A = this chain, B = another copy of it.
């Protein structure tokens, strides 16, 4: 990884742990293994580093969204997948989402940074809401909607059903961000949540 990228990476780590204001340019430089003034050959200011992180993150998420839409469309075309959606499949869906968000390193650091900085300006608040509230709800709503259409979940309000699926996942995620030692317990709760969700909305059970 080149220096310019390593600066971004180390900065994100520090920002996610201490918040933008508590991280000094010298701290970032030290981690990269250079002196603070050298850093200004790569970025013109501390704020420029922060902005570059946001930009890169937007790029990554757009990429990901594109990939998921392709899968989503493929899945829609190949709808038979959903006619065989079992409780185990549903558990997999929830677990996969939860663990990816929780453990993917870039995701995790970025989410923590946004959590800390979200009230700093409206743009960051909107970004947080998009990434961790609206987008997951819309994506999962699409999937659950297809499962419902296949007759395996029964509801007259897909939006609320999706809220019932996702809100506990989000809730458990924020717990683990604060205290990783609760992860094991959270995973157990997650499974119980999804089994119960399936029982509540499942047609046959």
**Interface set of A (CB-CB < 8 Å, partner B):** 16-19, 21-22, 112, 115-116, 118-120, 122, 125-126, 128-129, 133, 157, 159-161, 163-164, 166-168, 170-171, 174-175, 178-179, 189, 192-193, 196-197, 200-201
Contact = CB atoms under 8 A, between A and B. Distances in A.
A12 to B, nearest CB: 13
Contacts of A174: 133
Contacts of A193: 160, 163-164
13 contacts: A18-B119, A112-B119, A115-B118, A115-B119, A129-B175, A133-B174, A133-B175, A160-B189, A160-B193, A167-B168, A167-B170, A170-B171, A200-B201
B196 A128 contact: no
Contact of A118 (B119, B163, B164, B178): B178
Contact of A167 (B129, B167, B178): B167
B120 A192 contact: no
A189 B118 CA distance: 23
Contact of A133 (B120, B166, B171, B200): B171
Nearest to A124: B178
Contact of A171 (B19, B21, B167, B178): B167
B16 A119 contact: yes
Given A170-B171, A178-B118, A160 B196 contact: yes
